[in-house]
């Protein structure tokens, strides 16, 4: 019963999209388990670049069935427009191929308005959310008056949306001094569009269990990354879902038994959008070199918001934390090619606290998790860089020796093997490292 969970080990944007696309080659089902259209997953196939927000990246292949799990929050308007964009690109995801969990929650225009009003009210303490309504939709879910996907099937769905918008309007006006939405217009337009999704609604937990029992491979795709996890990330500068591997089980309705492999996707350096701690962050010229100028689609600018990402050196302390938290079996290292030409590479191997280096015991690296990293400074190790272009490398033996040494050092720090290395944005720009897993 082979379930592979694919999770980001950093603050999202690790390149999970192309990694899921790689593993989906042999999958029977690809399933997204958390988040909403705050995510932006990019897959490049030949001259086509797909930017996906809700649909799992493996859907670009013609064969796997596609599942949106109960751990997600789904804006029907974004989903419909994503389906249309895919259709125009020749990928038709009808109800026989795409199944949406009845228990996933809906994001409405009111959730988006509330998210944006809440951000404005945070002033300097703003989280830097994507403004897509993610937090308010998950808040409604946990306070048990959210709108679930199954509500689309009820005859009084429009009235439910009206009540929801009226409730949010009260908050917008009274708490945030913000403009209310036009209840009847928004409710009518939203409900009409959303009801187009009725044929896709399904009980996906049973469907996944049956597929696994038949021996089909299921690839579970996480959105965002470990350090944005609601419980275990850099709280409060996190998203509102369980981004880590256990979220795949709750967010798809599966037990622990089928899990065969948990793959962590790690960028060869570190990036983050939005506010929050980032011990290895760099600024100025060094930052511009890692970020790029925005001229290329793979430069470090948000897929969803277009914001310039903060950038820095790979943080081995946070990587070890991600390995432990997710129970990772292996890693995929992305964007190694971006480091080409840098004379010296830095890797953070430990943190130094005001009281001196912390004892070399992994579970003491972060005494209280990553929420408050202000007391720590990174301790760096320097490694020699390489000059050769990596774009055409396909075999481990053809990597420059400095690049291979860099990867081996990451494996030592993480304590798990690197299985794949990406050396460019194209589907085939991947180097496989043969380990027996």
Query: How far is residue 262's CA from residue 272's CA, in Å, rounded to a whole number?
Result: 22
Comparison of 139 and 160: residue with beta carbon closer to ligand IMP:
139
99 counts as binding ligand IMP under rule CB under 6 A: no
Comparison of 38 and 270: residue with beta carbon closer to ligand IMP:
38
Site for ligand IMP in 254-283 (CB under 6 A): 273-274
130 counts as binding ligand IMP under rule CB under 6 A: yes
Query: How far is residue 398's CA from residue 113's CA, in Å, rounded to a whole number?
Result: 52
Strands 41-45 and 65-68: unpaired
| Angle at 17 (CA atoms; ends 12, 23), nearest 5 degrees | 125
| Binding window for ligand IMP (CB under 6 A); candidates: 36-44, 202-210, 285-293, 405-413 | 36-44
Exactly one of 2, 80, 128, 340 binds ligand IMP (CB under 6 A); which one? 128
CB of 270 to ligand IMP, least distance (A): 12
Site for ligand IMP in 205-224 (CB under 6 A): 223-224
Exactly one of 7, 24, 39, 113 binds ligand IMP (CB under 6 A); which one? 39
Give the catalytic positions in this structure. 13, 41
239 counts as binding ligand IMP under rule CB under 6 A: yes
Exactly one of 70, 116, 129, 205 binds ligand IMP (CB under 6 A); which one? 129
Check: CB of residue 151 under 8 Å from CB of residue 194.
no
Give the residue nearest to ligand IMP (CB): 274
326 counts as binding ligand IMP under rule CB under 6 A: no
Comparison of 301 and 321: residue with beta carbon closer to ligand IMP:
301
291 counts as binding ligand IMP under rule CB under 6 A: no
Q: Please give the span between the terminal C-alpha atoms of the chain, in angstroms, as a whole number.
A: 16
Check: CB of residue 138 under 8 Å from CB of residue 107.
no
Exactly one of 27, 31, 83, 134 binds ligand IMP (CB under 6 A); which one? 134
Check: CB of residue 147 under 8 Å from CB of residue 94.
no
- For residue 225, count other CB atoms closer than 10 A to its CB: 28
CB of 129 to ligand IMP, least distance (A): 4
Q: Where are the alpha helices (DSSP H) in 157-283?
A: 157-176, 183-194, 204-213, 246-252
Exactly one of 132, 267, 335, 346 binds ligand IMP (CB under 6 A); which one? 132
Size of the site for ligand IMP (CB under 6 A): 21
3-state secondary structure of 328: coil
Query: How far is residue 6's CA from residue 222's CA, in Å, rounded to a whole number?
Result: 6
| Angle at 6 (CA atoms; ends 16, 394), nearest 5 degrees | 60
HSE-up of residue 382 (Cα within 13 Å, Cβ side) = 4
413 counts as binding ligand IMP under rule CB under 6 A: no
| Angle at 311 (CA atoms; ends 307, 316), nearest 5 degrees | 140
| Binding window for ligand IMP (CB under 6 A); candidates: 68-76, 121-129, 152-160, 256-264 | 121-129
Comparison of 130 and 329: residue with beta carbon closer to ligand IMP:
130
Comparison of 15 and 28: residue with beta carbon closer to ligand IMP:
15
Comparison of 63 and 307: residue with beta carbon closer to ligand IMP:
307
228 counts as binding ligand IMP under rule CB under 6 A: yes
Query: How far is residue 252's CA from residue 65's CA, in Å, rounded to a whole number?
Result: 14
12 counts as binding ligand IMP under rule CB under 6 A: yes
Query: How far is residue 350's CA from residue 358's CA, in Å, rounded to a whole number?
Result: 8
Cα–Cα nearest to 414, from 296, 328, 300 = 328
| Binding window for ligand IMP (CB under 6 A); candidates: 61-69, 145-153, 234-242, 290-298 | 234-242
**Adjacent-strand bridge partners of 356:** 353
Comparison of 211 and 219: residue with beta carbon closer to ligand IMP:
219
Q: Report helix angle 109-122 to 134-142, nearest 10.
A: 110
52 counts as binding ligand IMP under rule CB under 6 A: no
CB of 40 to ligand IMP, least distance (A): 6
Check: CB of residue 90 under 8 Å from CB of residue 75.
no
Strands (E), 197-325: 201-202, 218-221, 259-267, 270-272, 281-282, 310-312, 314-315
Comparison of 130 and 151: residue with beta carbon closer to ligand IMP:
130
Residues that bind ligand IMP (CB under 6 A): 11-13, 38-40, 127-130, 132, 134-135, 223-224, 228, 237, 239-240, 273-274
């Amino acid at each position: 019963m082979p379930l592979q969970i694919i999770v980001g080990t950093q603050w999202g944007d690790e390149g999970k999209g192309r990694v899921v696309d790689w593993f989906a080659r042999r999958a029977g089902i690809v399933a997204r388990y958390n988040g909403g259209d705050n995510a932006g997953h990019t897959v490049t196939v030949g001259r086509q670049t797909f930017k996906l927000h809700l649909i799992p990246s493996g859907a670009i292949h013609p064969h796997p069935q596609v599942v949106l799990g109960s751990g997600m929050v789904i804006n029907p308007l974004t989903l419909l427009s994503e389906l249309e964009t895919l259709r125009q690109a020749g990928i038709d995801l009808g109800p026989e191929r795409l199944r949406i969990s009845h228990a996933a929650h809906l994001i409405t225009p009111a959730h988006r308005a509330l998210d944006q009003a809440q951000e404005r009210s945070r002033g300097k303490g703003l989280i830097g959310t994507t403004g897509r309504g993610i937090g308010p939709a998950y808040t409604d879910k946990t306070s048990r008056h959210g709108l679930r996907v199954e509500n689309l099937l009820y005859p009084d769905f429009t009235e439910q949306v009206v009540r929801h918008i009226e409730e949010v309007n009260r908050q917008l006006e009274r708490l945030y001094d913000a403009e209310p939405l036009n209840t009847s217009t928004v409710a009518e337009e939203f409900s009409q569009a959303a009801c187009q999704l009725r044929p896709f609604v399904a009980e996906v937990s049973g469907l996944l269990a049956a597929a696994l029992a038949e021996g089909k491979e299921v690839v579970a795709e996480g959105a965002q990354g470990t350090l944005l996890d609601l419980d275990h990330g850099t709280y409060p500068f996190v998203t509102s879902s369980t981004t880590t591997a256990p979220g795949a089980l709750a967010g798809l309705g599966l037990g622990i038994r089928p899990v065969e492999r948990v793959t962590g996707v790690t960028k060869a350096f570190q990036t983050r959008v939005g506010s929050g701690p980032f011990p290895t962050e760099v600024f100025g010229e060094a930052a511009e070199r890692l970020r790029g100028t925005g001229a290329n689609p793979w430069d470090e600018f948000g897929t969803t918001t277009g914001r310039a990402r903060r950038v820095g050196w790979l943080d081995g302390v946070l990587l070890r934390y991600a390995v432990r938290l997710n129970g990772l079996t292996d890693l995929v290292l992305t964007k190694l090619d971006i480091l080409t030409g840098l004379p010296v590479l830095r890797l953070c191997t430990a943190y130094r606290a005001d009281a001196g280096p912390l004892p070399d015991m992994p579970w003491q690296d972060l005494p209280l998790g990553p929420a408050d990293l202000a007391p720590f400074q990174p301790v760096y190790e320097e490694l020699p860089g390489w000059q050769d272009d990596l774009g055409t490398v396909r075999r481990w033996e053809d990597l420059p020796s400095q690049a291979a040494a860099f990867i081996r050092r990451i494996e030592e720090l993480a304590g798990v093997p690197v299985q794949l290395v990406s050396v460019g944005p194209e589907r085939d720009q991947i180097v496989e490292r043969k380990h027996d897993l």
